[in-house]
Amino acid sequence: MTKGSRPTIDEYFLKIASVVAERSTCLRHHIGAVAVRDKHILSTGYNGAASGLKDCLELGCLRDELNIESGTRHEICRAIHAEQNVIIQAALHGITLAGATVYCTHSPCILCAKMLVNSKIKRFVTCSSYADDAFKELFEEAGIEFEMIERPPASISQLP
C-alpha cells in the first residue's frame, strides 16, 4: 500500500485481524483472526485461555517453563487458538462460516486447519508463517485457497 492509497480488501481485513490480536493473552504470540463473507465481518477471534479462566498473563507461560518449541505439543498450552475462537464465536451466534474467508495474522497449525476445513471456509489469507506448515496439503486437498500476502502497515492512514 502506498502513501495516500486505499488498502486492498485483503490488507484491510488483515489490519483488523492485527487489532483483534491485541486482545491476546498469550505471552509468545499475539494472533488474531477475522472471518469474512461478502466484505462483512462474521466473527473475530484471538488466542487466549478459555473464557473466565486464568490466562498466561496471570499465570505465566507453561510452554516456556517446559521449554516446548513453537508448533509442537499443542495440548500443553492453555490458549485456544485465534482460528478456533473465530469458529466458536460464529457458532455461538448461529453464524455459518461456509464460503467465508478467514484472515489471520499467522498461518494455521494442523489442528486449526482441520477445524477450518470442517467449517467449510473457501479461503485463508495471512501475512506470517506459523512454525508448522502441515496445513498446506490439507487445504489443497479440501480446495481451500491459501494466500500469503505482505504484512500491511500497522499505521492507520487518514486524509485530513
Residues with a catalytic annotation lie at 83
DSSP per-residue string spanning the chain: --TTSPPPHHHHHHHHHHHHHTT---SS---EEEEEETTEEEEEEE-EEPTTS--HHHH--HHHHTTPPTTS-GGG--EEPHHHHHHHHHHHTT---TT-EEEESSPPPHHHHHHHHHTT--EEEESS--S--THHHHHHHHT-EEEE-PPPPSSPP---
